[in-house]
A and B are shown apart, each in its own frame.
Chain A
């Protein structure tokens, strides 16, 4: 397989998977953020959009940076190996970024929960004292 065709296949698959994961995170993560920010949809959408921009930048940056690394394939089965290794790494990095984004959602939710619970705890403590 020609090396430029291999590069095109690599770029095509990597970009398609990145866009799919980012779209999923954007649409499914919004529910979490709206719930976390207690229905403040404007804030939730802003945080969501900012997270997605970072996600795209890191992943597209990695995909283009990693393009030229590795031994150039000369026949079909070397091309399959070359593509599999590169796309495998892209998928693992996407998976890592995806879990990192989920951790950010959970962290935001816990932070918001603490800020809600603190005044309740202090009011309960004052009730016990009185």
Chain B
């Protein structure tokens, strides 16, 4: 049986903890695996690739933790554990779908950066300079 804890605060804390843990995991995966694409896009300039990777991670964290906190009170109050589990599952599902959309958007961005030189190049890129 469930211990005699206040239902709503316990659910809120569990929801925020799981949401933030999932966000950290996806952000880390994107940062570790996306760096390869960014390094290639930035023509081996590691400092620039690291900075871009870090800035994208910060944006990812802000957006998703903001969304988790904003969605906290959606769904109203529940009084019994079954309704609590249903509400909890709906909210975590919503956070996971949002994370998935953001994940694919980041992958599209990596593919875009990978195909082109990193925006600040300093010197002109020979392929771009040769066009037209």
Residues of A within 8 A of B (CB): 17, 21, 24-25, 28-29, 31-33, 35-36, 38-39, 76-77, 80-81, 84-85, 87-95, 98-99, 102, 105-106, 108-110, 112-113, 116-117, 120-121, 124
Say whether, besides A31-B51, A77-B6, A80-B12, A95 and B119 are in contact (CB < 8 Å): no
Main secondary structure of the interface of B (DSSP, over half): helix
What are 22 A-B interface contacts by the 8 Å CB criterion?
Answer: A24-B58, A29-B51, A31-B47, A32-B120, A35-B45, A36-B122, A38-B122, A77-B6, A77-B8, A81-B73, A85-B72, A88-B70, A91-B66, A92-B67, A94-B62, A95-B66, A105-B120, A112-B120, A113-B128, A117-B129, A124-B129, A124-B130
Q: Nearest Cβ distance between residue B10 and chain A, in whole angstroms? A: 10
Is A92 a contact partner of B66 (Cβ separation < 8 A)? yes
Main secondary structure of the interface of A (DSSP, over half): helix
Say whether, besides A36-B120, A88-B66, A92-B70, A24 and B9 are in contact (CB < 8 Å): no
CB within 8 Å: A-B pair count? 117
Is B70 a contact partner of A113 (Cβ separation < 8 A)? no
The residues of A that contact B52 with a CB separation of less than 8 Å are 32
